[in-house]
C-alpha cells in the first residue's frame, strides 16, 4: 500500500470512529490522558494523516505536543461589592479565543525556542479537549536549509501564534472568509474601528 493510500485508510477510520473497532481504544486513551500532564511531548502523531497534511515531517526539527484545555465557557472572578447579581456577569462568558488557539499558545509557552506550525483535534471527554500541536525549531539546520519550511526561520514569523497567524488564529479573527462581506475584519477588527487621520 502506498503512503497516500495508508493516510486515506487512517482518515476513513477516524471519520467512522464510533462505529469502528478502535472506539474502546479511544476511550482508554481519554482516561490515560486525563490523568497525565496537561502538555506532554509525544514520539509520533496520533493522527498521522492530519499531521502530514498540516506540514509535519518525521525529521529533526519537528516535534509534536499534546495539549489539554478545559472545555466549556469561561468564568470571571466574583466581585465582592455593592452590585446587583444581575449586573455582575461572571458566569457563562464566551471566550474570545477558541480552545484550539489556547492549546497552541500553551504549547508555545512550554517550548519557547519553537514556533507553532499548526494543530489538530485528537479527542475530548467530559472535562477536557485534546489537541496535538506541531512545533518547529526555527534555528535547527534541517529547518533552516529546507526550502519548504525555512520561511518560519525569518524574523517576521517569530511568535506567530501570539499574533493570530496560525490557522486557528485566522479563524478566530474572522479571516477565513473572502473579501466580500468581511471588510470590517481586515486588517483586524480593532484597527478597523479606529479613526484615521
Got the DSSP string for 112-124? TTEEEEEEEEEEE
pLDDT at site 193 = 74
Residue 21 pLDDT greater than 80, yes or no: no
Cis ω on the peptide bond leading into residue 99 (within 30° of 0)? no
Select from 3.40.50.2000, 3.40.1120.10, 3.20.20.370, 3.90.1150.10 the CATH code of 3-150. Answer: 3.40.1120.10
At 94, the pLDDT band (50, 70, 90 cuts) reads: confident
pLDDT tens for 122-173 read 999 889 999 999 999 999 999 999 999 999 999 999 999 999 999 999 999 8
Average pLDDT over the chain, rounded to whole? 87
Cell numbers standing for residue 134: 506541531
pLDDT at site 181 = 77
Domain extents in the chain? 3-150
The beta strand positions in 23-125, using DSSP E, are 39-42, 62-70, 114-124
pLDDT at site 174 = 87
What Cα–Cα distance (Å) separates residue 137 from each residue in 32, 101, 129? 28, 19, 25
pLDDT tens for 37-51 read 999 999 999 999 999
Residue 187 pLDDT greater than 60, yes or no: yes
Amino acid at each position: 500500500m502506498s503512503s497516500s493510500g495508508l493516510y486515506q485508510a487512517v482518515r476513513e477510520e477516524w471519520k467512522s470512529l464510533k462505529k469502528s473497532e478502535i472506539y474502546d481504544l479511544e476511550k482508554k486513551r481519554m482516561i490515560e490522558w486525563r490523568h497525565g500532564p496537561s502538555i506532554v511531548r509525544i514520539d509520533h502523531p496520533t493522527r498521522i494523516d492530519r499531521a502530514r497534511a498540516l506540514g509535519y515531517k518525521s525529521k529533526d526539527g519537528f516535534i509534536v505536543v499534546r495539549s489539554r484545555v478545559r472545555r466549556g465557557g469561561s468564568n470571571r472572578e466574583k466581585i465582592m461589592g455593592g452590585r446587583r447579581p444581575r449586573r455582575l456577569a461572571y458566569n457563562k462568558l464566551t471566550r474570545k479565543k477558541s480552545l484550539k488557539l489556547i492549546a497552541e499558545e500553551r504549547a508555545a509557552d512550554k517550548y519557547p525556542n519553537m514556533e507553532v506550525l499548526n494543530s489538530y483535534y485528537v479527542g475530548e471527554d467530559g472535562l477536557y479537549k485534546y489537541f496535538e500541536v506541531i512545533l518547529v525549531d526555527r534555528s535547527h539546520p534541517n529547518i533552516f536549509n529546507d526550502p519548504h519550511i525555512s520561511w518560519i526561520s525569518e524574523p517576521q514569523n517569530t511568535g506567530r501564534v501570539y499574533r493570530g497567524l496560525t490557522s486557528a488564529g485566522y479563524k478566530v479573527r474572522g479571516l477565513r472568509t473572502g473579501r466580500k462581506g468581511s471588510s470590517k475584519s481586515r486588517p483586524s477588527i480593532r484597527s478597523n474601528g479606529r479613526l484615521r487621520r
